[in-house]
Structure 1
Amino acid sequence: MPSTRESVLASLHARLQPLAAIVLRDGVLPERIPPAGLIILRDGQPGEPDVTLSPLRYHYQHRAELEVVVQAGSDRPVAFDTLIAAIGSALTADPTLNGLCDWVEPEAPVPVDLPVEGAAAIKAAVITVVLHYTTASPLA
C-alpha cells in the first residue's frame, strides 16, 4: 500500500493527465517540446511537519513543483498562458485530490524565456504546488 505522500503525488499527476500538454513525473526535459507543451511534476520536499498529539499526527505542507514548458513559435505567450490557466482550472476543480489532501494551493508562476540556438525560444516556469495533508507517521 503506498504512503500518503505517494498517494497525494500520484493523484496530483493523474489530475493533470487530461490536459492537452504531455505530463511526466520526474522526467527529463526532452529534446523536442510537444506542440501543446510539457509539464514535469517534481516530487519536491515535504518539509518539516507540524505535529499534534493524541492521536499523534503529522501535518505537512509538501512543496511539489510543476515545470511548465512551451515552444510554440509566435503564439508562444498565448499557448503558455492557456496551459497555465488549464493547470489552474484542473487544480481548483478538485482542491482535495479526491479527499487525499486537505488542500492544494498553487503559487504564481515566474515565467522565463530560454533561447534555443536554431529554434524558437522556450517559455518556461516552475509552479510550486503546496499540498496540505496529514499522516500518522513521517513514513506513512
Structure 2
Amino acid sequence: MVESVSEQIMLALFAQVEPVLPFGVKFERNATLPQRVPEVGWVCLRDGDPGPPEVTLSPLVYFYEHDVEFDLVVDLPEDQRDAAFDALKQALGLALADDRTLGGLCDWLEASAPQPVDIPIEGGNSLKAATVTVTVHYATSDPLA
C-alpha cells in the first residue's frame, strides 16, 4: 500500500534533514525526550497538526497548511551550549531550504523562528531547547489519502 500524502511528506522531511544534522546528533520521529540527551544534540520530528483544509469542489481538492514540529535540544556546558544550539538550528534551516517542495510532494514549506528556553536539570547542565514549527502547504484529493 502506498503511504498517504501526509506520510510521504513526513518521510521526505526526515530524509532531507537527517544527513545535514551535525555528526552525533540523535534524530527521531514522534519520540519522547530521552533521559540522556546526546551532548551534541537531539532532534525530533513531530507529525503536528494539518488543521482544517480549504476545499474546492470541482475537482474535489483539500488544501492543507500542515504545521509539523522539530524539537531541538542540546545538553552542553553553558560556554558551549549556545553555539551547539545555533549549529542545530542552522543545519535544519539549510536542510529545509535545500528543497522547499520536497521533490514536488508539497507546494512549499516554511519554518518559523524558534523561541529557545533553558531547562534546568538538577545536578547537570541546563538543556537548551526550542520547537521549530514548519508549515507545509500541500493538496490532496482525500484527507485520508
Normalised TM-score (structure 2): 0.93
Name which of 110, 114, 128 aligns with 1:105.
110
Q: Quick check: 1:86 aligned with 2:91?
A: yes
Cα offset for 1:35? 2.3
Cα offset for 1:57? 0.5
Q: Return the alpha-carbon distance in structure 2 between the equivalents of residues 90 and 4 of structure 1.
A: 20
Name which of 23, 32, 53 aligns with 1:49.
53
| 1:87 match: secondary structure | helix
Q: Return the alpha-carbon distance in structure 2 between the equivalents of residues 98 and 35 of structure 1.
A: 33
- When structure 1 is superposed on structure 2, of 14-23 and 125-134 the one drifting more is 14-23
Normalised TM-score (structure 1): 0.97
Cα offset for 1:28? 1.4
Name which of 76, 80, 93 aligns with 2:81.
76
Equivalent in the alignment of 1:32: 36
**Is the CA contact (8 Å cut-off) linking 1:38 and 1:68 kept in structure 2?**
yes
Q: Return the alpha-carbon distance in structure 1 between the equivalents of residues 139 and 40 of structure 2.
A: 35
The percentage of aligned residue pairs carrying the same residue is 49
**Is the CA contact (8 Å cut-off) linking 1:25 and 1:40 kept in structure 2?**
yes
Q: Quick check: 1:17 aligned with 2:35?
A: no
Cα offset for 1:53? 2.5
Equivalent in the alignment of 1:125: 130
- When structure 1 is superposed on structure 2, of 105-114 and 8-17 the one drifting more is 8-17
Runs (5+) with no aligned partner, structure 2: none
Q: Return the alpha-carbon distance in structure 2 between the equivalents of residues 45 and 122 of structure 1.
A: 26
| Number of residue equivalences | 140
Q: CA RMSD in A?
A: 0.8
Q: Return the alpha-carbon distance in structure 2 between the equivalents of residues 138 and 28 of structure 1.
A: 27
- When structure 1 is superposed on structure 2, of 32-41 and 84-93 the one drifting more is 32-41
